[in-house]
Copies of this chain bind each other. A is one copy, B any other.
Amino acid sequence: MFGYWGKLLRVNLTNQTYKVEEIPEVTLKKFLGGAALGAKVLLEETAPNVEPLSPENKVIFAVGPLQAVSFPGNGKWSVITKGPLTGTYLDSAGTGHWAPYLKKAGYDLLVIEGKAEKPVYLYINDDVVEIKDATQLWGQDTVSTSQMIKEELGDRRINALNIGPAGENLSPVACITCDGHSFAGRGGAGAVMGSKNLKAVAVWGTKQVPVHDKEKASEISKKLFKSAYENGKYFREHGTACAIVPLNELGDVPVKYWRDDVWTEGSAKIGAPRYTEYLKAKPKPCINCPLGCHRHVHFEYDGEKKEANGPEYETLGMMGASLLVEDLDAICMANDLCNKNGVDTVSTGAFIGFLMECYELGWLTKEQIGDLELKWGDGDVLVELTRQIINMEGLGKLFKNGIRGAAAEIGHEAEKIIVEVKGLDYPAHDPRATFGVAVNYATSPRGACHERGNVHAGSLGLYYPELQDAPADRFSVDQAAQAAYLHQSISTFYNTLTFCKFMIGDGGITLSELCEGLEAITGWKLEAKDLFRVGEAAFTLQRLINVRDGLDRKDDSLPEKMKMAALVGPRAGEAPTPHEKILDDYYKLRGWNEKGVPTAEKLKELELEEYVSFIPAK
């Protein structure tokens, strides 16, 4: 028996120094880890409105208690920073193999400050921390970078988060990759690494991390591995591509950059089972994963046979359905280009949809498009525009400040057709199919985010029997705020624990079972409602960073297209309006005032009284 504890590794790239700090148990118990601990550090340690790509911004990597042991779904890590795409608080989660290594090296948090003079990478091997030259790595793609580091360090077990050329070039949609098949994709964290001249973070950890009851933890873990494996058979067979057809049937999948409503034949062509058969797709699991949703696929493009990491549901949605592209080979090619260059496939797909719509509306100049015909459904155009966006050349230049910048530059009525919140493009779930999604996207601290509330059509009303009744009517304006409040808080808890949400939904693990696991590891007695409270507190803390920087209700917006109900299809006649009414309901549930600012009372209730001073005066 011992008190649970954690450590923070702080690296300053400007000074080339590092130090280790203790994290007291009381802090860990309140925040767990991940996106809560990271938000706490970001709030406390960065100035208001810090410029995302300046040395003053920090990039924080975080794990949580589950990474101490072998536990299903603990391959997840979070990166927390001010994001360059939105200028807001940003956290983004990746998986792969890296997360447990950081914990086993002894760290819950890795805080990176400053900026290196020239390209470097960080190498953490238990207590040894080195800032190493990355001149040779600069310009390498994400897969090569990983391999070259393993070779240089002489240990294939070493795992290195890294950025591709897009991050080096400060693309606002650059992501951070792990193992070539996992990505902290959204919001441009890769560019923050790039702005610090930080190419990679290699980690190897071998320590015995303190665990409250090792035997019990092992027993629970084994039980959950087994049950998740059994529950997840279909998911393992087809990966997230299994969701395309059923979610299209619910009207959840974006069609034609959110302008159309149904894509039945197309969805059958890109979704499972065809995806699995045509691409000879096989699972490519993250560490400690009984589900293995990531895919290894075979495809052919431009006469060349290829193997690579396969597109996920969100990528199929944004590069397939949203563009009417049925050509799986082209989608795989565009996906692979994004992955290797380290670019978010969701925003890239959204950008291309936006360009295709602008083209159709005659808003692009001959000078901008050259000879390219930006026709919906053309897989080659998808690949070519992906290249242009990655290389920030041609039409890609328009996106140097994201979709909002592109809309402003294109002019006409382009600002009316973009589908984003706070500058982050909608991912592939339509709020007209589930009203809670609208307020979820509107209020998510990093902008429109599906990782902040598994509230979309397929999940509503499921999973949390231990908590309050989950609202189950997807077309209820009255239930929308409650659905978002519940699912956001729980999802934020996952990101705080850095735990894979699929273990719950597809693996069938319950919150109570998670509590058992957590107790075995930490010794803390927790119930499902405590997990909810941790998520709620973390979410509020993240909100506080944004309101400190001047964001409020006006930034919690609903795109114009989402106010337009479909004529036919599974969500005919439905729209999540009036948005302002739903927002009012939501703010009440969250204990925020009518401007969307957390109240001092609410902070106290969530044991966040030390942050009351961060509430803006007016």
- A residues with a Cβ closer than 8 A to B are 260, 262, 264-265, 360-362, 412-413, 416-417, 560-561, 564, 567-569, 572
Contact = CB atoms under 8 A, between A and B. Distances in A.
Closest 8 CB pairs of A and B: A264-B362, A413-B568, A262-B361, A416-B568, A265-B362, A560-B567, A416-B567, A417-B568
20 contacts: A260-B360, A262-B360, A262-B361, A264-B361, A264-B362, A265-B362, A412-B568, A413-B567, A413-B568, A413-B569, A413-B572, A416-B567, A416-B568, A416-B572, A417-B567, A417-B568, A560-B567, A561-B567, A564-B564, A564-B567
Contacts of A567: 413, 416-417, 560-561, 564
B568 A262 contact: no
A262 B362 contact: yes
A567 B259 CA distance: 10
Contacts of A264: 361-362
Contacts of A362: 262, 264-265
A79 to B, nearest CB: 35
A107 to B, nearest CB: 49
A417 B567 CA distance: 7
A202 to B, nearest CB: 48
Contacts of A360: 260, 262
A361 B560 CA distance: 23
Contact of A569 (B260, B361, B564, B569): B361
A500 to B, nearest CB: 34
Contacts of A561: 567
A569 B362 CA distance: 10
Contacts of A412: 568
A412 B570 CA distance: 11
Question: Chain B CB within 10 Å — which of A360, A412, A416 has the most?
Answer: A360
A604 to B, nearest CB: 44
A540 B195 CA distance: 76
A361 B417 CA distance: 22
A568 B568 CA distance: 21
A567 B560 CA distance: 7
A569 B560 CA distance: 14
Nearest to A572: B413
Contacts of A265: 362
A360 B324 CA distance: 11
Contacts of A416: 567-568, 572
Contacts of A572: 413, 416
Nearest to A255: B360
A568 B354 CA distance: 13
A262 B417 CA distance: 13
Nearest to A413: B568
Contacts of A569: 361, 413
Nearest to A362: B264
A316 B605 CA distance: 67
A572 B564 CA distance: 12
Contacts of A262: 360-362
A283 B562 CA distance: 48
A566 to B, nearest CB: 9
A249 to B, nearest CB: 10
A358 to B, nearest CB: 10
Contacts of A564: 564, 567
Contacts of A413: 567-569, 572
A564 B413 CA distance: 18
A579 to B, nearest CB: 16
A561 B362 CA distance: 23
A260 B376 CA distance: 14
A67 to B, nearest CB: 45
Given A264-B362, A416-B567, A561-B567, 4 more contacts: A264-B361, A413-B572, A416-B568, A417-B568
A491 to B, nearest CB: 30
A256 to B, nearest CB: 10
A378 to B, nearest CB: 12
A308 B361 CA distance: 32
A361 B255 CA distance: 11
A417 B260 CA distance: 13
Contacts of A361: 262, 264, 568-569
A535 to B, nearest CB: 35
A229 B568 CA distance: 49
- Most chain B CB neighbours (cut-off 10 Å) among A362, A416, A417: A362
A606 B575 CA distance: 48
A437 B538 CA distance: 56
A255 B302 CA distance: 34
